[in-house]
Structure 1
Amino acid sequence: MPVTVLLVDDEPLVRAGLRAVLDAQPDIEVVGEAADGASVVPLVRQLRPDVVAMDVRMPLLDGIEATRAVLRTVDSPPKILVVTTFENDEYVYQALRAGADGFLLKRARPSEIVHAVRLVAEGETLLFPAAVRALAAEYGNRQARAVLKQAALTEREEAVLRAMARGLTNVEIAKELIVGTETVKSHVSAILGKLGARDRTQAVITAYESGFVAPA
């Protein structure tokens, strides 16, 4: 089954470009488009896409609120890939905090766009550029520090979380730590559970906000 994608952007040319790139792949299918975040929830319920490629800045309902609405009201919600012009946009960071799963620049090369959709669909990793990591560190807060302290991660779990924060996949983490992929998956699940994180993105945000990991 192909990865199904819903495109959400107020610029028709952006949607057309993304559709052309994604529909050219045998394992990806664009199933719908929306020009504003207000249309996202009904379309997600109707089309059940695997991934929503979501512009973060839109005139009526922005990508942050649209992300919150999807995660709050849709059962088994899709993965959400934030698409934007500027990597250091605070809107991007807020969308990630709201529950988005990854990040993509509009100027990305076609191969990078395809790769991002596949990665987010798999749920194994996230796209978390240096500029957004720096924003997360700037938003450091006591709550994140308390959550991490209370989690009492093991030494190996801490190593896995640091690798996750660098954007490594489970396979890449396994190679780096010289363990099996299934072992890494078990550690990731334990980390998410201990941190009370919905997914890898939320765990990494906690890692940066708490100061456990510092942006390079």
Structure 2
Amino acid sequence: MSKQRFVAAGVAAVALAGLGGTAFALQSQGQSQGQSQSQGPGGDRGAARPAAAPERPAGTETTGPRTSSVVRVVRPYEPVEIGQGALMGLLPEGRQNYVVSWGGPEAFRESVEAAKGIVGDDIRPNTISGGYHFDDGEVLFTGAFRTDVVPGRIAVRTVDGTFDAKMLRLPGDPGWGAYHLDAGRTDALSSDVVVTAYAPDGGVIDTLTMTFPRTPRTPGTP
């Protein structure tokens, strides 16, 4: 069973529920790409393998830069189901401080308590971060936004199409939030994935490109 967790910059704590994983952090540099690598708990570095049988990701496929105000206001520490057994929660402590955890409510509570003592990851103004969790051919994209205005839309473009992510933010005007997209069983990681945050008027706030290692071809094949 292949389990790889590529965790967005801005994640203060990730509960791996005893499973090995690889943690990557990706943060845009003002509509450019930035990437750093760090060893995940009990995990090994390695290339993500694309799924063998691509399917259409969950969500609404879009073809242009239209906006759709799909932002859910959540309470601090509220567990939100985001697909593939994962829970996401936003913390008022720190900077862009949120958790993505696997293993149920207890693992989520432990992650939140651990994250309360962490400063968080301060991403640049008007930028987004991004990462993903890959498990047996299913992909879950997550990330954070730090913007002057709440994005009207965050779109994730994969080989399967362009899909609107769901967004979460805390009450009031915290100046940041998180997003998630359960892409399901997909071949998304076989090519670059582009995440774009749009302003309510349709203008581009920031773009992040995730570049994945290509699976080596067998010698003699096209």
Q: Which has the higher contact order (CA 8 A, sep 6+)?
A: 2
TM class by shorter chain equals under 0.3
TM-score by length of 1: 0.27
| Bigger share in strand | 2
